[in-house]
Amino acid sequence: MRVPKQLFMAIVPVSAWFSSRPWLNFVTRPLMRGLGAATMRMRRAQPQTTVEEIGREWQRMFPSRTGVPITRVEDDTVYAEIHIACPHRGTGNVEGCYRMMEYDRKMLEGIGGQLVVLRSQAEPGVEVCQVAMRRADVSVDDLVPAHVRARRS
């Protein structure tokens, strides 16, 4: 079953509202993880073995694969972009983006991987998010998450 685009797009502003308020993280994290788990159940997500399969399964969780294209696969990493317009776009609230992306991290856990946002639409001038995915048993310590990079600058 495909997640209806209207339902998916209706959830995005609600998620953004919660994720833009750090003091609501006690609600935001379980909400985003719950939505990710619900999407996985609805789409019948399956654990995957290879990083390529993990990337394709993550992509399949969305209403349209064109909104989340895989841009390349290098060694143990799948790189993808998120073209779906984010309510955090251009706000500078990269921490809010990090909280909202708990949805994707939950899905990746269920399919055997992990996700790191490398560039966020919340950053000024960034139109698409750039993400990296690896298998759950492969370190991501060499990848610098956008929210960490933003704190440093």
CATH number of the domain where residue 16 is located: 3.30.1380
Are the C-beta atoms of residues 1 and 61 closer than 8 Å to each other?
no
Provide the domain count of the chain. Answer: 1
The number of C-alpha atoms within 13 Å of 144 and in the hemisphere containing its C-beta is: 7
Are the C-beta atoms of residues 16 and 88 closer than 8 Å to each other?
yes
What is the pLDDT at residue 21? 77
Distance CA 122, CA 16 (A): 11
What is the pLDDT at residue 65? 87
Report pLDDT digits (tens) over 7-51: 556 677 777 767 777 787 788 888 888 888 988 888 899 999 999
Confidence band of 149 (pLDDT split at 50, 70, 90)? confident
What is the pLDDT at residue 62? 85
What is the CA angle 51-76-70, rounded to 5?
A: 55
Distance CA 145, CA 130 (A): 10
Sign, CA torsion 95/98/102/103: positive
What is the pLDDT at residue 7? 58
Token match 């788990």: residue? 37
Total-model pTM: 0.87
Are the C-beta atoms of residues 61 and 84 closer than 8 Å to each other?
no
Average pLDDT over residues 100-118: 94
Report pLDDT digits (tens) over 48-91: 999 999 999 999 988 888 899 999 999 999 999 999 888 878 89
Report pLDDT digits (tens) over 126-145: 999 999 999 999 999 999 99
What is the pLDDT at residue 49? 95
Distance CA 45, CA 17 (A): 27
Instruction: Name the residue range of residue 21's domain.
Output: 5-152
